[in-house]
Structure 1
Amino acid sequence: MSVPRSLSASSYINIRDRGTRVGEVRRELNIAIDALPTQVDPTERELYLNAILGDLNGRDDAPWTVWPDDVYLLSLTAIKSLGRNPVGSETLLSPDHLSTLLYHSVLPLDLPSSSSTLATFSRPAPAPMSLSAREALKILANLLVLHSAGRSRLAAAGGARAIARALAGRGPDREDVELGKGKEEENTERLFLLGRLGFLVTIDRPKAVKVMVDEENVVGSLIHHVTTMAPESVNYAALSELLKMMNNIIRFYPADHPASSTSTHSHDPWDDRFDALLYPVLCVFYAIPIIDLSPPMSYITHVLLSIPFHPRILPTWHCVPESPSPSASSTATPTSPYSMRGLLNKISHMSSPSSTQSQERRKLSAGSLTLPTRSKSPTSPSSPRTSSSSSSSRDGIVPPGVYEPAALPTKLLRIFDHFFDTYIPCPDKPDDELPHGQVLDEVLPPLLLLLTNAAIGSEPIRAVLKETLLPSTLDRSAAAGPLESRNGTLGNILRLMGCAGHPQTKNTAGELMWAICKGDAADLCVEIGYGNAAGVLFQKGISGPPSAKIEEVQEEYTSNEPPSGSDLSPINIQPATPTVASTFATTSSDASAPRHPITGLKDDNGFVTGTEMTQDEKEREAERLFVLFDRMERNPVISMKSGENGEKKKDIKDLMREKLESGEVSTWEKKDEESERIRLEEEERLDEEEAMRELQEYKRRTTGIIGKQ
């Protein structure tokens, strides 16, 4: 097998008058494009890049100005191929080379000064939608991925502002960029590259994000593209990059900005201009026909995780958009389980809502949810260009939606179950190695945290989660097996709470169950058992079983309604002393069937601590002890004998027999029984005193109210 010949930059550099000898230039560029990474020495790579970029600079006699389009495109493709290796491609970071790449990418930068390299370009730049412009954008994207310094230099050159303008549909001369008929594929690729560049240039750069949001209205541009992009597989890559950029915009926007006039949370880092991002992201979330935690669904989850459950946008969280995009109807049939209608039908069959709930499940009013307005150019219908005066406007109206709080948790749980069915099918354990290189702590925590935030921020969603995971009809019989060993969503979450190899996933799963139980330790132990809840309780600083949970008992009246004008509250008698874990079994949902405090299962026999042994059991236990003592006596290593100095040593067996015959053991038992009786009497006395105090307080309140009447 022959070794590939190393690529030499001299073969290209030694071509004289490269502007006219196009055939030789084309041949050498193709050789550079087809070369393997091992064929190019770092020094030769740098020389090759310098030579090609020199031919693309802004001189009037630069060779690229007379090259045919195919050679011009080959030169950019050769730079892209040679620049994929971080070693030797550092020359691309030089100011001259970076300016050359920015020019050929047709990004709408500010007008350069006379000293800028861009000012030397006399030939008009290619069209923004051209193949050569997209090739230059790919070079910039690779450069920013391989060299972190390139991100800083692009941001310093105004790259963040230029990317925001490009997303708004503006060209280098501030003109509107026309998409043209049949150019959807080219537009999608350009959006992918702009989203990738926007994501990279905004990492840890609040100043760049502030310029994009405050001065270029990048929020409106992102809303436009996410809303109009069809949720189809051909658009997933571009949609993923736009969502990553959107997440950076939310995350790195400076929190010390002046609160806007409509914001009621001046102390909150969340800016109300980002409220409008929620609806289009939810549109994509419900419309996309996949339930796998892969892009773009994983990035949708990250964006939703960044948006809080503020009261003013709770109606948006609780709605299901009817028409997420113009092509939504083409991606899923009305009866498909992935369509909007299919999801709503599934939710409606989960439970039978009351008449009041049915009335609430109505279409949201058009004015309840708003998006920023976008003034579109008449020559470019798809352009999201927005005037600076309307950058913060909130007069737009979103498409109508259906009020359904169960939709969000239902789909999130479907995604969670799909992940387990695919990667951790029962009876596999979460601590086992996952296929396809999946890392549990990188995949599941965002999804679990989103469910946790939803349970904390929305009571209707929390109620749906509790009824779904911990329904009153849950089979808690021992025959059905432990809760954590069962197949299903609840069993999967409980197994995550017990996995030691993935601490982040373990903690987030525990936080989810804690939020579903409203932060009530006793309720959590009642529902899943102290054995499953011990880890999260320890994280909360609760080292032992929580106190008993006693439900309030409403006083019965002769009629169904309490006396008119009465504002009496029911008596709630708290336990006088901390109780043992067995008191977890007192719940209103299933009072007739107490639950085992450790497993959370139905305890038909009752859980009794400290059960007294019968006389026969005591005798059998004593016999077992005698046998053990006899074995120990025969062991030459262990000698268990007792006796004072000068006295004959006695075996332990003989000592125990003497104590039994003398009645000393019975005396010990009587002392223990007496101590237990005294303890119980003291507890009863304290309980009685506590009850009397509560009764006196109740009488005092009753007497005061009657006196007022």
Structure 2
Amino acid sequence: MQVETRTPTGKIKLNHIQRILTTLNDDLSSPHLTPEQRREALEQLKIHGRDPKDAGPIFTTEGIGILTKHGLTERSSPSSLEALRCLANAMLLEPRTRQIFVNLGSAGQAAERLKIPDSDNEFLISRILFLLTYESNLNFDPLFNDHDLGQSINAHTARHAKEISQADSKNEPSSFDQAALSESLKLLFNLSTYYPRHVSTFTASSENIRKILSHIAIPNPPLQPPITHLINALVNLDLQDDHQSDSISNLTTTITILTTILSQSLTSYNPTELETHAIPLLTLLRKIYAYTSQTQKKHMRSLLLPQKSDRDLPLGQSDTLPSKLLRLSTSPAAPKLREGISSLLFELSDQDATTFVRNVGYGYAAGFLLSHGMAVPESAMKARHGSARDGDGEGGEVTAAEEGELVNPVTGQKLSKEEEAMVDTGPEMSEEEKEREAERLFVLFERLRATGVVSVENPVREAVERGAFDGGGAGGTGGGRVEELGDHDHD
């Protein structure tokens, strides 16, 4: 059959489709087409089916039945692959055809076909099964139990892991291989979401996916397929390290790679784009922290939480990854991103409010704690040595190197650096200016106390009592203009 180069429309197109389907149907009961004629007929049908208009016969029970028989009866012949392409396109364009396919009882055959170890079959069958997870009543349990669906997906991720790990600049995986991998990962994610009882089936794929991440080139910008599908697939899987696994796919390596992807993402996307693309990555990092050993937790904190050098400035003002995360945690344009980052930093603080405030400063912690109904502990608002995790000791104990490094609990900056900044930046404030600033801060804190947001001693009051403000010649008591507020000032 000669493939037409131009697609007809209207009644001509409709009649042509019907003739092709009749020919293909007759060929099922009495084969008379050569393999090449059969492939050409299915290719022509695929071209017609790209636009559902005037292509109705393709999307009927009869049409889907013909495509299914040609696609699944033979093993990976050119004509069967062409039939599967027609079928996948039909299911994408007309969702009702998915239930037709299920009613024909062909899902088991499709799962069996997924056992073939090549990217052509993987791409098409994984896409068909993925589409069947939407708008059909297919029960996938028999596909797991009777047709080894989980093992087939594991075999494909293992094949890709091997190919990618052995690739070099002269022998890189093709774009089609990566597309096939993406289809399998999309299917794996949906199955692990809708059938959590089968998640343990995919333990081998968790290992394979981490191995792929350790070898695959990170694109620019980074959050695009297959990176996004690798991340999504891992979110639902068991992430505990297999002690028999090679070091290249252990969680420490995975943490470093994911942090690199996160860092590159923050420079490649604006907050609105990160709102769309970065949430699964933040979720995965949170989940990994829950699985990791104490050594791996320490590694994550060293990468994602502010370190001593960040505290030379108020937190969030340096150019490090933790500072960028803190700035984005207050982005007004990205509420989901704000929540995702703050949740990650809270997780890295072992879900402890005091540790959280000490790690990121009250200024960044307050909104998250308030929105989650958590009070700010009084102890967290006192100047202390270092952050809760600066010493990298369990429980955040202070090391000898931190002695004398008192930290502002609100800004997270070392107090010694605050004093240097006051000396080095511009003309010194007059006594009157100091008094006005102290009064402003005093009023702000008293109003916060009145709302119940904080229940701690006003730091300005503490400063006054220790003589830090001695305006107006009032001496060490710091009397000056900072006065008690009446109830009318709490509005």
Same fold (TM over 0.5): yes
Runs of 5+ unmatched residues, structure 2: 165-171, 388-396, 420-429, 437-477, 486-491
Alignment-mate amino acid for residue 448 of structure 1: L
Is 1:87 the equivalent of 2:87?
no
Q: How many Å apart are 1:72 and its aligned residue?
A: 2.7
1:430 aligns with 2:398: no
The answer to whether the 8 A contact 1:45-1:89 is kept is yes
Q: Which residue does the alignment assign to 1:412?
A: 258
1:275 lines up with 2:106 in the alignment: no
Tell me the amino acid that sits aligned with residue 47 of structure 1: N
Describe how 1:253-292 pairs up with structure 2 within 5 A.
Answer: 253=195, 269=197, 271-290=199-218, 292=222
**Correspondence for 1:546:** 377
User: 1:474 Cα shift?
Assistant: 2.5
Q: Matched residues in 1 for 2:417 and 2:247: separation?
A: 51
Deviations 1:230-278 (A, max 9, x none): 124311011111111122221222x5xxxxxxxxxxxxx5653333332
Is 1:315–2:315 an aligned residue pair? no
CA drift at 1:132: 1.2
CA distance in 2, matches of 1:189, 1:618: 74
TM-score by length of 2: 0.74
- Tell me what 1:209 maps to: 140
The question of 1:190 aligning with 2:158 is answered: no
Q: Which amino acid aligns with 2:156?
A: H
Q: Distance in 2 between matches of 1:206 and 1:91?
A: 23
**Counterpart in the other structure of 2:173:** 233
- Is the counterpart of residue 51 in structure 1 residue 19 in structure 2? yes
Structure 1 residue aligned with 2:321: 489
2:337 is matched with 505
> 2: distance between equivalents of 1:78 and 1:586?
70
Per-residue CA distance 1:595-651 (angstroms, 9 max, x = gap)? 2222211122889xxxxxxx9749998xxxxxxxxxxxxxxxxxxxxxxxxxxxxxx
Residue 412 of structure 2 is aligned to residue 604 of structure 1: no
Q: Take 1:51 and 1:285, find their aligned partners in 2: how far apart are those partners?
A: 48
Partners of 1:498 and 1:506 within 8 A in 2: yes
Matched residues in 2 for 1:402 and 1:138: separation?
37
How many Å separate the matches in 1 of 2:83 and 2:434? 91
Change (3 A) 1:674 1:160: closer
| Larger helix percent | 2
Q: Is the 8 A contact 1:161 1:208 kept in 2?
A: no
Q: Does the aligned pair in 1 maintain the 2:383–2:407 contact within 8 Å?
A: no
Mapping of residues 240-255 of structure 1, within 5 Å: 240-253=182-195
The 3 A distance-change label for structure 1 pair 545 and 48 is: same
Q: Who is 1:145 aligned against? A: 92
Contact 1:219 1:277 in 2 (8 A): no
How far apart in 2 are the matches of 1:245 and 1:616? 68
Matching residue of 2:300: 465
| Partner residue, 2:64 | 98
SS at match of 2:218: coil
Q: Residues of 2 paired with 1:674 and 1:442: CA distance? A: 49
| Aligned partner of residue 97 in structure 1, secondary structure | helix
Distance in 1, matches of 2:259 and 2:360, equals 18
- Residue 620 to residue 485, structure 1, CA distance change in 2 (3 Å): closer
Q: 1:522 to 1:83 in 2, by over 3 A?
A: same
- Tell me whether 1:527 sits opposite 2:347 in the alignment: no
* TM alignment of 1:322-401, pairs within 5 A: 364-365=243-244, 400-401=246-247
Divergent runs of 4+, >6 A: 59-62, 618-621, 672-676
| Equivalent residues, number | 408
In the alignment, which of 499, 502, 518 is matched to residue 350 of structure 2?
A: 518
Matches of 1:468 and 1:219 in 2, distance apart? 35
- What secondary structure does 2:378 align onto? coil
Asked whether 1:163 is paired with 2:123, we answer no
Matched, 1:303 2:239: no
In structure 1, C-alpha distance between the alignment counterparts of 2:338 and 2:40, rounded to whole Å: 52
Contact 2:96 / 2:135 at 8 angstroms: preserved in 1?
A: no
Instruction: Calculate percent identity across the aligned residue pairs.
Output: 22
Equivalent residue, structure 1, for 2:75: 128
Q: Is the 8 A contact 2:153 2:188 kept in 1?
A: yes
AA partner of residue 82 (structure 1): H
What secondary structure sits across from 2:414 in the alignment? Answer: coil
Report the CA distance between 1:304 and its aligned residue. 0.6
Question: What residue identity is the alignment partner of 1:239?
Answer: L
- RMSD over equivalenced CA pairs, Å: 3.3
Correspondence for 2:277 among 436, 443, 449 = 443
What is the identity, as a one-letter code, of the residue corresponding to 1:297?
A: I
- Contact persistence 1:585–1:597 (CA under 8 A): no
Measure the CA separation in 2 of the matches of 1:70 and 1:59: 13
Could you tell me how far apart the structure 2 residues matched to 1:585 and 1:103 are?
Answer: 73
Q: 1:379 corresponds to which residue?
A: none
Residue in structure 1 matched with residue 289 of structure 2 by the alignment: 455
Matching residue of 2:446: none
Deviation at 1:58, TM superposition (A): 3.1
Matched, 1:73 2:15: no
After superposition, the C-alpha distances for 1:446-495 in whole angstroms (9 at most, x for unaligned) are: 111000111123243322111223365434113xxx43243232122113
Check the 8 A contact 1:524/1:533 in 2, yes or no.
yes
Aligned counterparts of 1:67 and 1:403: Cα–Cα separation in 2: 50
Once the two structures are superposed, the pairs formed by residues 14-25 of structure 1 within 5 Å of their partners are none
Specify the code of the residue in structure 2 equivalent to 1:193.
L
C-alpha spacing 1:619/1:300, structure 2 compared with 1 (3 Å): closer
**Aligned residue identity for 1:299:** H
Which stretches in structure 1 are left out of the alignment for 5+ residues?
A: 1-24, 109-126, 170-178, 180-186, 256-268, 317-363, 366-398, 432-438, 550-580, 608-614, 622-668, 677-709
Contact 1:202 1:208 in 2 (8 A): no
The corresponding residue for 2:309 is: 474
Q: Aligned equivalents of 1:289 and 1:674: distance in 2?
A: 62
Aligned to 2:443: none
Secondary structure class of the residue paired with 2:139: helix
* Per-residue CA distance 1:264-297 (angstroms, 9 max, x = gap): xxxxx56533333322222222232335322222
Question: Separation in 2 of the partners of 1:522 and 1:289?
Answer: 40
Q: Tell me which amino acid in the other structure corresponds to 1:547.
A: E
Distance 2:203 2:435 in 1: 73
Q: Deviations over 1:13-54 (max 9, x none)?
A: xxxxxxxxxxxx52xx414xx33xxx623x544333222111
Deviations 1:571-590 (A, max 9, x none): xxxxxxxxxx3446676444
In the TM superposition, residue 516 of structure 1 has moved relative to its aligned partner by 0.4
Which amino acid is the alignment partner of residue 338 of structure 2? K
Query: Is contact 1:83–1:89 with CA below 8 Å preserved after alignment?
Result: yes
SS class of match (1:85): coil
State whether residues 199 and 236 of structure 2, in contact with CA within 8 Å, keep that contact through their aligned partners in structure 1.
Answer: no
